[in-house]
Structure 1
Amino acid sequence: MANGLDDVVAAETVLSDVDGLGGRLTIRGHSLQELVGRWSYSQVVRLLLDGFFEGIPGDKQLARAIGRARVEVFEQVEPALPFLASLNIYSGMRAGVAMMPDGDRLIDALRLIAAPAVLTPALLRLRRGESPIAPEAKADHVADMLRMLTGVPAPPTLARALDAYLVTVSDHGLNASTFATRVVASTEAGLTSSVLAGLGALKGPLHGGAPGPVIEMLDAIEASGDAAGWLRAEIAHGERIMGFGHRIYRVRDPRADVLKAVVRQLGSEDGAGRRLAFAEKVEQTALEVLRVAKPSRSLQTNVEFYTALLLEAAGFPKEAFTNVFAAGRVAGWIAHAREQQTSGRLIRPQSRYIGPVPKLVA
């Protein structure tokens, strides 16, 4: 039996393929490198949802529809925002998503795609003692998310960087949150129920909760002044080095290289250049320390390492990093939910009982 379902094929999909040995990610026939920087997030939403809903409009019309969905979400959740802000930032966002209608229409999908991008800035502002800012229906999705966070128009380079991040994490095979989404969708529950399953799985530190600790690690290493010594001490104490290693990739995570290039394009904005230079030194040191300490394992840089730098530069606090991850991944979850629903098959694997056996009565 495969522990953790390793190497078990649980679904056939047209959505994405993760080549762990080759270090390649394909999304609906396009390599990740083809998409990032050339396709906007709203265009990738259309790519993922195409064929799973009737009447999907063209790119410009869909972008406007997502804008209207942002406005509708804000109007629906606004009365509840003070309560949602009393929760931790991820739980507040998840509770706000739970307020969305549990339907299977395109408009239901678009509201779910809009919800994390609307809720996260609003809740962060309330937690800072500031008033939430309503969306602008005609604005670009990612630029509007940043404007709702800061209250001022986003610098184009920063908006492009965050857009690239959402594209990069929009789908990634049958990971834990996507599998959870498909399981719920297979029961014929609505899209909100399915997305909530994905949000629950993404919260765990072994999945979407990893980028935040990368910032804590970089800060601790900078304070110590000895990257190699700090890293060796962590390994000696059995601690995981955040931002390195992946369950599937046996080579470097292709998303890491894409995001590293994106962060480099930010230049010196908000200290991103200095932070990147320091992070690159830590990365090289960590790869060497891990190579020596764990020679039997391939522990390469993964997506979380440069995600942390990008989201920090975009102005999100580390406790909200998983929220932003969800804002990108939600499109993939919805596409997988609809794909699963069209297969018409309830996901019901078998288990092997290994507990005590009752005595048989003669």
Structure 2
Amino acid sequence: MSCEDGTITTTRDDRIADVTPSVFDPRLEYTAVAETGLSDLDGENGELVVVGYPIEELAANASYEETLFLLFEGRLPTADELADFRTDLASRRELCAESREVLRRAADEGCAAMEALRMGVATATLEGDRSGPQADAKRAVAVLPTIAATYWRYRQGDDPVSPTETLDHTANYLYMLTGEEPSEADVRGLETFLTTLIEHGMTASTFTARTVVSTESDIVSATTAALGTLKGPRHAGDLGAILELLRDVHASGDADAAVDERLAAGDGLKGFGHPVYRVRDPRAAVLSAAAERFFEESAADGFLASVREFEAVATERLREREPTRDARATVEFYAAALLDGIGIPKSLFPATFAISRAGGWTAHCLEQLEENQLVRPTARYVGTTGKTWTPVENRHVAGDSLVGRPVRSASLEPVSETLAVLSEPNRLEILLLLYDADEPLAYSALRRAASIEDKGRFNYHLRQLREYFVTDRGDGYELTDAGRTFVRTLLTEDRLLDDLL
């Protein structure tokens, strides 16, 4: 076990009992469970780096196969390596008859596309190369488009279109959906989508995939589990609902009324505000540019104009309602518009997202297996203690006696949470720095002034102080009235300051 920069690192030989968790983090939002060279997210500054490349640069230049090779190998391929890699992936696209029959049944029963995708990939190992994790990873990525397209063709009452090895990954998916070779504009638009969303750190589905292979299970099983996780609407956003919203706005021609009606009803605005990014999602900018290019070429930019007007109005209204929160359009906002323009059926939006993210899932699985340790989080027990066995004939009809049940003082929870926020010395340092400042401090100035060297730790502690003790005015951070009162009444005592500093 080692401790560096305040981070405790354990090995498989360390006893878990020796480590006392200091933070209750039910979302694992601030708990690092792996070291990765695949991507780095900076939510404060709106940056996403994939294997060293800014996502903007990668999405503008790389094909999906190039990006997948980069994730698998940690570098871009040469021309010959890329040609061989494409050929290898293309050779793994076919489905066996048994898999097709499962998808036919799923379509006949009206199963959702994500359910069909999960069923199909679970049968993908009935035939094909099972020589090791790398082969499983390539098979999972290569076969998902075939599964989605086969299911969809069955749903439409059509025979499936077999994959062709003459088309690249993206073009082949579109070809299998329609039976026609896709246009260059459609391929370029979908390629940008697939490359932009291929990897995004330790999302719920990625964590699930890594957890599965940490047990030394196979990558196809991990992909199946990841698909089950992505199926939940809280993970990747509701792309279909966002598209319906955009269509309604375009049909009405009144973005102001559409925004005001939804906010007044308390429905919120789907496609705005990302849980990680405090500023604009960098992927949203990439897909916004891709959508603009696509709709200009397709001469259907009237819809895009409605989308942009809605984004501007929604951003302004949300800023008025919550000045301290920068709730801008997320990647799903422009993804819905772009996929619809390309002609991807709305019912296949989640499946198409999964086709993209499978590259990230499998790359994380391969990385996990390099220095594998079993992922085994702990839980905080909040149940009762001290019970003794009661024979069945002596038990109450309605259950156990109320004695022994935990007392939950809901009214004290806000106080307890506030005290917990202020119990961390790094946060007290940030409060003192802002108290001493004559004007709001920019993020860069505040970080330079603080002694917290690790950017992730600094961002975490600043985030904990936000809203109640610290506010972002746009031109910098400053204390709220509550924060200033706290510093003035508690931290300006000389004796306490001496102890803290």
Q: How does 1:137-148 map to 2 (within 5 A)?
A: 137-148=165-176
- 1:74, 1:134 within 8 Å by CA — same for their partners in 2? no
| Superposed displacement of residue 215, structure 1 | 0.7
2:155 is matched by which residue type in structure 1?
R
Structure 2 segments unaligned to the other structure (5+ residues): 1-23, 390-501
Structure 1 residues 350-359 or 150-159, which shifts more? 350-359
TM-aligned CA deviation for residue 5 of structure 1: 1.8
Q: Which has the larger radius of gyration?
A: 2
Structure 2 residue 318 is the aligned partner of structure 1 residue 296 = no
SS in 1 for 2:189: helix
Does the aligned pair in 2 maintain the 1:48–1:332 contact within 8 Å? yes
- Cα deviation, residue 334, structure 1: 0.5
> 1:42 maps to which residue?
65
Equivalents in 1 of 2:112, 2:134: separation in Å? 30
Q: Does 1:273 align with 2:304?
A: no
Q: What SS is found at the alignment partner of 1:5?
A: coil
Do the aligned partners of 1:268 and 1:274 also contact (CA within 8 Å) in 2?
no
Residues 1:93 and 2:121 are matched in the alignment: no
**Aligned mates of 1:282, 1:119 — CA distance in 2:** 35
State how far apart, in whole Å, the 1-side matches of 2:263 and 2:379 are: 35
Residue equivalent to 1:78? 100
Q: Could you say what secondary structure the match of 1:340 adopts?
A: helix
For residue 6 of structure 1, the aligned residue among 29, 32, 37 is 29
Partner in structure 2 of residue 308 of structure 1 = 336
Query: Aligned partners of 1:13 and 1:286: how far apart in 2?
Result: 36
Distance 2:203 2:56 in 1: 20
Shift of 1:42: 0.5
* TM-score, L = length of structure 1: 0.93
Equivalent pair of 2:242/2:270 in contact (CA under 8 Å): yes
Task: Report the RMSD for the aligned CA atoms in angstroms.
Answer: 2.0
Query: SS in structure 2 opposite 1:348?
Result: coil
Q: 1:264 to 1:345 in 2, by over 3 A?
A: same
Residue identity in the other structure for 1:97: V
TM-score, normalised via structure 2 length: 0.68
Distance across 2 between alignment mates of 1:138 and 1:276: 33
1:6-25 to structure 2, matched below 5 A, reads 6-25=29-48
Counterpart residue number, 2:87: 64
Q: Is 209-218 or 160-169 further displaced after alignment?
A: 209-218
Written as runs of structure 1 = structure 2, the 5 A alignment for 1:99-138 is: 99-101=123-125, 104-138=132-166
Cα offset, 1:357, TM superposition = 2.1
* Deviation, structure 1 residue 144: 1.0
The separation in 2 between residues aligned to 1:200 and 1:240, in whole angstroms, is: 26
Match of 2:266 among 238, 246, 269: 238
Q: Is the 8 A contact 1:263 1:272 kept in 2?
A: no
- In the aligned structure 1, how far is the partner of 2:96 from the partner of 2:193? 23
In 1, Cα distance between the equivalents of 2:265 and 2:250?
19
Taking structure 1 as reference, are residues 331 and 64 closer, same or farther at Cα in structure 2, changes over 3 Å only? same
1:153 aligned partner, one-letter code? E
Q: Corresponding residue for 2:354?
A: 326
- Residue 267 and residue 66 in structure 1: after superposition, are their counterparts in 2 closer, same or farther (change >3 A)? same
Contact 2:63 2:191 in 1 (8 A): yes
Equivalent position of 1:169 in the other structure:
197
CA contact (8 A) 1:228 1:289 kept: no
Name the CA shift for 1:358/1:235 in 2 (closer, same or farther; >3 Å). farther
1:172/1:261 Cα in 2 relative to 1: closer, same or farther (>3 Å)? Answer: same
Tell me if the contact between 1:14 and 1:28 (Cα under 8 Å) persists in the aligned partners. Answer: yes
Contact kept? 1:73, 1:111, Cα under 8 Å: no
The SS at the match of 1:139 is: coil
Q: Select between 213-222 and 303-312 the one with higher mean Cα deviation.
A: 213-222
Q: CA deviation at 1:290?
A: 0.9
Residue identity matched to 1:81: L
1:249 matched to which residue of 2? 277
Structure 2 residue matching 1:25: 3-state secondary structure: strand
Give the Cα–Cα distance (whole angstroms) in 2 for the partners of residues 222 and 263 of structure 1. 16
The 1:129–1:322 alpha-carbon spacing in structure 2 relative to 1, beyond 3 Å, is: same
Higher RCO (C-alpha under 8 Å, 6+ residues apart): 1
1:221 — aligned with what? Answer: 249
Q: Percent identity of the aligned residues?
A: 37
Structure 1 segments of 4+ aligned residues over 6 angstroms from their partners: none
Quote the offset at 1:225 in angstroms: 4.2
Which amino acid in structure 1 is aligned with residue 35 of structure 2? E
CA shift at 1:74, angstroms? Answer: 5.9
Once residues 341 and 143 of structure 1 are traced to their aligned partners in structure 2, the CA distance between those partners, rounded to angstroms, is 31
Report the residue type matching 1:41 in the other structure.
Y
Contact 1:177 1:198 in 2 (8 A): yes
SS for the counterpart of 2:275 is: coil
With 5-14 and 293-302 compared, the bigger mean Cα shift is at 293-302
CA drift of 1:274 comes to 1.7
| Distance of 1:159 and 1:243 partners within structure 2 | 24
CA distance in 2, matches of 1:129, 1:11: 45
CA drift of 1:269 comes to 5.3
Q: How many residues align?
A: 356
**Structure 1 unmatched runs, 5+:** none
Cα deviations by residue, 1:44-75 (Å, 9 ceiling, x for unpaired): 111111169xxxx81111111111111x3366
The 8 Å contact of residues 21 and 249 in structure 1, kept in 2 or not, is answered as yes
- Contact 2:295/2:304 (<8 A) preserved: no
Provide the secondary structure at the position in 2 that maps to 1:279: helix
